[in-house]
Copies of this chain bind each other. A is one copy, B any other.
Amino acid sequence: MVNLSTATAVVDAAVEEAEEIEVPMCIAVVDEGANLVAFRRMDGALLASVDIARGKAYTAVSLQMPTADLAEVAQPGESLFGIHTTNDGRIVVFGGGVPLRDGGTVVGAIGVSGGSVDEDVTVAEAGVAAFEP
């Protein structure tokens, strides 16, 4: 389950990784219902990342896939091109959002924004690794 305790552990681990790579990030965790549980903006993080981090978490849980995977199929000419304007613009189609799983079941997600896409993914995965459902 994603509750405040497990979400906080996820955010803590993500912040630790972001500090390690020295990139200020915004980090959001949502639960199974795509509702926000925890959010933290590190000092100096981009303001645009407040919304993008949350959007990535929303996207990862609501589509049950990492947003990095979505990036491929959302390109022009690909099968899901245009999905980024659905759901009132909350869908983000680049990496940094990753589902949180209990066994095979998606029970929430983390969204990270603030660095390059690779950096965002790295920090998100550090958060996922700390998830204990």
Please report A residues at the B interface, Cβ cutoff 8 Å: 3-5, 8, 31-43, 46-48, 50-52, 55, 59, 61-64, 71, 74-77, 79-89, 91-94, 116-117
Apart from A38-B39, A48-B91, A82-B94, what 8 extra A-B contacts exist at CB < 8 Å?
A: A8-B40, A35-B47, A38-B40, A46-B64, A48-B63, A83-B92, A83-B94, A89-B89
Q: Which residues of B contact A55 (CB under 8 A)?
A: 86
- Write the nearest CB–CB distance from A62 to chain B, whole angstroms: 4
Contact partner of A46 among B32, B46, B62, CB < 8 A?
A: B62
Instruction: State the CA gap A87–B82 with chains docked (Å).
Output: 14
A43 nearest CB neighbor, chain B only: B3
Q: Which residues of B contact A83 (CB under 8 A)?
A: 52, 92, 94
A41 touches B87 (CB 8 A): no
A86 touches B51 (CB 8 A): yes
A52 touches B94 (CB 8 A): no
